[in-house]
Amino acid sequence: MSQPKQIDSPLYLLLRKDDVAGFNQEKPKSGVIDMRGGDFRGLDLRNLDITGIDFTDAYFRSADLRGLDLRNTPMEGASIAHAQISGAYFPRELTADEILMSVNFGTRLRYNTR
């Protein structure tokens, strides 16, 4: 299991400073933004424009993800332990049980590819 990491990116630093509006403004309009394995513990990400962000193996312990539409966001291997997820959409490959296990016990999200 990979450990959460601080990502060397100006966009990531904006999120760590709780500047979601600044992130949304500076974010490129196309392409993939690599946030794989990032440490997002305790951040309020409710208004984040997640289009094009790769959150594979990311760590969201106690983060606020309420209302986010994550349906097209790679999240395999991410942990959402104790995160606020009310009103959030998750990728179709994640079952409700898988999401619940991650929220309650911190397990890494495993995609159901059947």
The secondary structure of residue 73, as a DSSP letter, is S
Q: Give yes or no for a contact between 77 and 97, defined as CB atoms under 8 angstroms apart.
A: no
CB atoms within 10 A of CB 61: 16
- State the Cα angle at 4 between 11 and 51, rounded to 5°: 40
The per-residue pLDDT for 1 is 52
| Confidence (pLDDT) at 114 | 66
With a cut of 70, list the residues of the chain below it in pLDDT: 1, 114
Q: What is the DSSP letter of 31?
A: S
Q: What is the pLDDT of residues 30-61, one digit of tens each?
A: 999 999 999 999 999 999 999 999 999 999 99
How far apart, in whole angstroms, are the C-alpha atoms of residue 59 and residue 46? 16
